[in-house]
Amino acid sequence: MKADIGQPPLLSVRGLGKTYRVGEIEIHALRGVDLQVAAGELLVLLGPSGSGKTTFLNILGTLDLPSSGRILFRGRELTDLDERARTHFRRHHLGFVFQFFNLMPSLTARENVALVTEIATRPMAPEEALQMVGLGHRLDHFPAQLSGGEQQRVAIARAIAKRPELLLCDEPTGALDSATGIVVLEALRQTSREIGATTLIVTHNAAIAAMADRVVRFADGRVVSVTRNPQPVEPAALSW
Amino acid sequence: MRTLHRKLLRDLWRMRLQALAIGLVIGSGIAVFIMMLGAMASLEATRDAYYAQSRFGQLFVHAERVPAAVGEALERIDGVVAAETRITGFATLTFADFVEPVTARLVSVPERGGPVLDRLVIRQGRGLAPDGRDEALVNEAFAEAHALRPGDRILANINGRQRRLSVVGIALSPEFVYAIPPGALLPDDRRFGVLWLSRSTLEAAFDLEGAFNDAVLFLAPAADPEAVRAAVDRLLEPYGGLGAYDRSIQVSAFFVDNEIRQLRTLAAVLPSVFLVVGAFLLQAMCRRMVDTEREQIGVLKAFGYADRTIATHYLTLALLIGLLGVVLGLLAGSWTAGRITELYTQFFRFPLLRYRLEPWVYAVATALGLLAAVLGAWRAVRAAGRLPPAQAMRPPPPPAYRRRGVLGLAVRGILDQPTLMLLRHLLRWPLRSGLAILGIAAALALLLAAMQWRDATAYLVQKEFFEARRMDFTVGFFDPLAPAVVPQMARLPGVLRVEPRRSLAVRFRNGNRVKRGSITGLAPQGRLRRVIDVEKGPVLPDDQGVLLSRTLAAILGVGRGGRIIVETLEDRRRSVELPVSGLFSTYLGIPAYASIALVDRLSGIGDRVGGVDLTIDPARRNAFFRALRESPEVAAVASREARIRAFETTMAETIDIVVAFYVAFALLLTFGTVFNTGRIALSERGRELASLRLLGYSALEASYVLVGELVLMALLALPLGLALGWLLAVWIIATVDNELFRMPLVVFPTTMAWALLAVMAAALVTALALARRVFRLDLVAVLKSRE
């Protein structure tokens, strides 16, 4: 699944900067990031904590606003959307997977997925999404009744059930042991491939980079390198 | 330790709105407590001091004509310390600038030295001169209503003779603290006054030289009031004694006592509603706080802070919130108690009534507020103290939800997921949700119970003054007159209809149940004074039996068709057994009715008319009033319209103010409950709400989960609140169940609608205010923190 040079990129980031003020101190979280992402690509964003990779992901997810620069999604400006349009963007184009799962404890696995399919335009059935992550047998379990890996797979099912074009994952294995983490990454890789979602995975775990089409390294608020994996490996072959 | 204190203050500051909301609920309870008990204590202390200073009598008796010598015999009765004999009666007064009839109660004052009992306080001018013929003292409320001052003159018709009285002083008497016209519930100071005249003036006016017709007795502390009463009755029986009665049913004293009693009962119950809800809110808040701070608690303990210190830390926080409530409550309570006491001065004429800050009331209020705080925080404080440090430093397990019957498979596909979330959250903590619902229900109940008072009064006026009484005026004569007076009254200008009436003082007896009262004889085919039977509707009294009010029938233990003994206390004394031909409801007094023919037969002195009920042509009112003034036989006049107006004015000036206080406190209770419940839900579910936003739900859709839950709780609280409000109203109405008056239990649909609307609006506004926080949720921060 390579980027097709002939097509316009799905996502085009130019000169993205973000400055926070914490009390008296200015923090430059991002200092001019440029990145082009083609449809269907899987990118791993690597970097130590504080390197800006999560800020970058949050801005792509319209959770945060940049201080400078532009993001074009399918040629449409994302950075000057109002609150309403940002909600619309998240609702229809975006899937999120978080480090701490963020499931609704009061909803079962099926209902957690339905939470998203109810408001999406052409979703798959919640059961189908859960089937895809291998949880077809745990549909009616509440989060408190599921293991960490299972909870994260529910979160993946929830993210892909609406068939998003862009899937953003923030440290999806950060709260899991390595064996469970690999199962989760397999689910992620397989589902994103099936629905053809462009996937960005933020992690500080360099081992995960091997499954990416391209690896983007962050340091000190800048992209320091972008390398293409000639031969991405399947998650099952990863270890850390 | 000092650092821990700093944490305490910062925590409190961070949660200031929540602390304030709880403080307001506890404060409302304290304020209501002070308002009722403070006003009660002021009223009680003033009453006791005034009664003692003025030597207010303990036993009262009225008779027809008692020789003066018998007065000394009264003083010799065992247990009697002093007896004041006197002459009392009625008169009509004429004012140049007030066309309506004015009735005065007359009380004689001894020629020298003033009364020994029921002493007067002269507020202006002087007392009567030793030979003060035609000098008068006037009660203060009446003087104010007519702008009377010493030196003014009043034209009075006393027993058929016009007298020009000269006002020499303005006075107060313990007998007329609450000065109301006979048969009324409320003062009407323009149309009713009390005049004190010299004994000789009234002896001459009522042809009672060397005699008296009224006495007040003061008893020794150890005296047996029942024995004294029996002795007085025996002594006065031959002289038309109507039976002695004690202070508890002396009209003025009764109303003062009734007010004090009612304040005391309400003070015992109403504040506790607020304090209990306040304690529950505090419990939920402290619990939540200990949950969110469990890691901090673990760290503190790991560094060597004792369990006790940690527990004290959270207890202090709760106590500070309780203290906030106490301070707010003391301030608001003192102010409202002052206003309420001020309202009482419009009705109760004491030499000095003002709000007195009784230290014990404040001490009890403070203790109650702090107790509520301690009890509320207790469970959370104990949990914080007992939390093992290692366990504390691990995050708490995620809350476990279960499918429950209704919310299981049955609802899948019907409810959307956000609705399912809010329902499950509500059911996940049934106790907490239940208490929140109870808090809102309590607010509604208070609102209803307070607002129904107005409805009850309006209903009473409707029943008694519109349905049961249709006369415009009730006229009383000095002495019963021959029936020829009826056509004579009918000839007065403007009179449309006249119906005669005759009352006879009697003693009812059924076995060993005895009750003093009177039977009012009504005209055959009468239409102006209707007796409405509980079963048969309006009934005309017949010549064979008596119609008893339900309260009287209950006292006598007799029903319709039963028989009672009637002993007449006036005219020719006799004892007759009569059937009870019907029972009727009334909210006023314990009347009994019969046909006027039956009353004439009972009296044994032939046909007489004691007074008449009249309707007049409104266009000829003034001519009618003038003619009435010139009718020497008229002793007292009461206007139905004036009574209705008195009710309406009182309602507007007093009941509405008291109700407004309650409405304010009830709304605070709603706000406090909804705000706290919502604030805790928001803190627990901030992460869920933020996740919803990330999943593509708009802020409005996400806040639905929060607002929906709060509104649902409020909706669930409504039926419960209606039921509790009904019970509370039943109980409050039951505190005014006495022989002089009772209150109906009615809530008009509009009142109910307003109460429901007010509670729903308060809940909704509070919920929406909280929903704004969902719009401001920092999505990134909420997702990064792990609770």
Q: Single out the residue of A112, A143, A105, A139 nearest to residue B424, CA to CA.
A: A105
CB atoms within 10 A of CB B234: 11
Per-residue confidence band for A130, with pLDDT thresholds at 50, 70 and 90: very high
Check residues B776 and B57 and name the one with the higher pLDDT: B57
Check residues B774 and A4 and name the one with the higher pLDDT: B774
Mean pLDDT score, A72-98: 88
A84 contacts in chain B (CB < 8 Å): 698
* Whole-number pLDDT of residue B262: 86
Residue A1 belongs to a domain: no
Mean pLDDT score, B663-674: 91
Mean pLDDT score, B304-308: 82
Residue A175 belongs to a domain: yes
* Whole-number pLDDT of residue B589: 87
Check residues B374 and B111 and name the one with the higher pLDDT: B374
Q: Single out the residue of B312, B353, B318, B422 nearest to residue B4, CA to CA.
A: B312
Could you tell me the two tokens for B35? 């308002």
d(CA A16, CA A66): 7
User: What long-range pairs does B336-342 form, CB within 8 A, spacing at least 24?
Assistant: B336/B31, B336/B34, B336/B35, B336/B661, B337/B34, B337/B35, B337/B36, B337/B38, B337/B39, B337/B42, B339/B657, B339/B661, B340/B35, B340/B39, B340/B658, B340/B661, B341/B38, B341/B39, B341/B42, B341/B43
Calculate what percentage of chain B has a pLDDT beyond 90. 56
Calculate what percentage of chain B has a pLDDT beyond 70. 96
Number of domains in chain A: 1
Residue A142 belongs to a domain: yes
Residue A18 belongs to a domain: no
Q: What is the ipTM of this complex?
A: 0.77
Nearest CA in chain A to B411: A111
Tens-place pLDDT, residues B295-304: 888 878 877 7
* Whole-number pLDDT of residue A2: 44
Residue A153: pLDDT over 70: yes
CB-based contact (8 Å) between A27 and chain B?
Answer: no
Mean pLDDT score, B345-360: 86
Residue A130 belongs to a domain: yes
Phi, psi of B117 (to 5 degrees): -110, 165
CB-based contact (8 Å) between B695 and chain A?
Answer: yes
Give me the residues of A, 174-213, that contact B with CB < 8 A: none
A98 contacts in chain B (CB < 8 Å): 691, 694, 783
For chain A, give the mean pLDDT.
89
Give the CATH number for residue A83. Answer: 3.40.50.300
> Is B783's CB within 8 Å of A100's CB?
yes
Residue A5: pLDDT over 70: no
* Whole-number pLDDT of residue B407: 54
* Range with the largest mean pLDDT of B534-538, B560-564, B773-777: B560-564
Residue A148 belongs to a domain: yes
* Whole-number pLDDT of residue B784: 67
Nearest CA in chain A to B699: A87
E strand intervals along B372-512? 473-481, 495-510
d(CA B575, CA A157): 97
Q: Single out the residue of B238, B323, B251, B304 nearest to residue B12, CA to CA.
A: B323
Residue B396: pLDDT over 70: no
Task: Give A175→chain B minimum CA distance, Å.
Answer: 11
Radius of gyration of chain B (CA): 33
Residue A145 belongs to a domain: yes
Q: Which domain holds residue A165?
A: 38-67+77-237
For chain B, give the mean pLDDT.
89
Tens-place pLDDT, residues A18-76: 998 877 888 899 999 999 999 999 999 999 988 999 899 989 988 888 999 999 999 88
B779 contacts in chain A (CB < 8 Å): 63-64
Mean pLDDT score, B522-536: 83
Kind of pairing between the strands at A68-73 and A76-77: antiparallel
* Range with the largest mean pLDDT of B100-114, B137-151, B415-429: B137-151
Tens-place pLDDT, residues B714-752: 999 999 999 999 999 999 888 888 888 888 889 999 999
Residue in A90, A102, A162 closest to B783 by CB: A102
